């Protein structure tokens, strides 16, 4: 029998994250539970310091929670050993960092090829796939350039190509429009939704940019480490 589909792309149960001790103790995320479905483009929004990025890091398997658990495609990611966790993330989650985290001394194609090389794909095959995915994001003619030669919007698309080159089921973007002007930011998010959102993929975006709210399937509002409300967008 074929494997059953996971109940949710991501399911978080009573997550919390505390930093520091004593007078320096800060509760960044406080007892948060949420479910994210395949085929959904979910936003987590709120002011700076509300815990959005910390929550994102926990549900993506990057930052260990102080309490609670995270199921990604029904796998308890924080019950895995560190090597197992890293391998699982590499195979299932594409993460686009707010500051892109591109390697400055590599070409755009080499940057995109890195996740494939980490999975054991031969160099030539990895580079060929990198060019293919740069073409998908409209940057095939930028393959040989260093990131410094690209605009902010182009660097964002390189980061997206790197995140999707392994064809992950879950794509996570942290503040994808933070360093972009309004039109470029809207174009990036519109591109992500139109070209990358499928019934078998979930996309999670952390943002405080109200200009891109219209693209969301649902919006979770976060304040002071807690989820305060949810909006479902029938047009999103």
What ranges do the domains of the chain cover?
Answer: 10-232
Q: Give residue 1's pLDDT.
A: 43
Q: Give residue 56's pLDDT.
A: 93
Strands (E), the chain: 10-19, 26-36, 41-45, 67-72, 75-76, 93-96, 170-174, 202-207, 218-223, 226-232
Following DSSP, what letter does each residue of 118-143 receive, concatenated?
Answer: HTT--HHHHHHHHHHHHHHTT-GGGT
Chain CA centroid to CA 52, Å: 12
Q: Which residues of 145-168 are buried (b: 16+ CB within 10 A; e: fewer)?
A: ebbeebebbbbbbbbbbbbbbbeb
Mean pLDDT by 10 residues, the chain (236 residues): 72 96 92 94 91 93 95 95 93 87 94 93 96 90 94 88 90 85 84 89 91 92 91 72
Task: Specify the CATH number for 10-232; select among 2.60.40.3140, 3.40.50.300, 3.30.365.10, 3.40.50.720.
Answer: 3.40.50.300
- The DSSP H or E segment spanning 187 is helix 182-196
Q: Give residue 96's pLDDT.
A: 87
Q: Give residue 114's pLDDT.
A: 95
């Amino acid at each position: 029998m074929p494997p059953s589909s996971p109940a949710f792309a991501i399911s978080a149960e009573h997550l919390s994250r505390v930093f520091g001790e004593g007078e320096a103790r800060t509760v960044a995320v406080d007892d948060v539970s949420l479910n994210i479905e395949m085929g959904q483009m979910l936003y987590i929004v709120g002011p700076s310091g509300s815990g959005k990025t910390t929550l994102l890091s926990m549900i993506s398997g990057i930052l260990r929670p102080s309490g609670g658990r995270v199921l990604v495609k029904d796998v308890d990611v924080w019950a895995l050993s560190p090597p197992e966790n890293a391998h699982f993330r590499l195979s299932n989650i594409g993460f686009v960092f707010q500051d892109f985290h591109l390697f400055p001394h590599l070409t755009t194609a080499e940057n995109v090829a890195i996740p494939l090389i980490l999975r054991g794909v031969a160099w030539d095959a990895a580079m060929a796939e990198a060019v293919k995915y740069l073409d998908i994001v409209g940057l095939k003619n930028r393959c040989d350039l260093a990131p410094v030669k690209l605009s902010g919007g182009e660097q964002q698309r390189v980061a997206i190509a790197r995140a999707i080159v392994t064809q992950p089921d879950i794509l996570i973007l942290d503040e994808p429009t933070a360093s972009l002007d309004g039109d470029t930011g809207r174009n990036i998010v519109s591109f992500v939704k139109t070209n990358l959102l499928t019934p078998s993929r979930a996309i999670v975006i952390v943002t405080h940019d109200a200009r891109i709210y219209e693209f969301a399937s649902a919006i979770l509002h976060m304040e002071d480490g807690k989820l305060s409300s949810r909006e479902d967008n029938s047009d999103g």
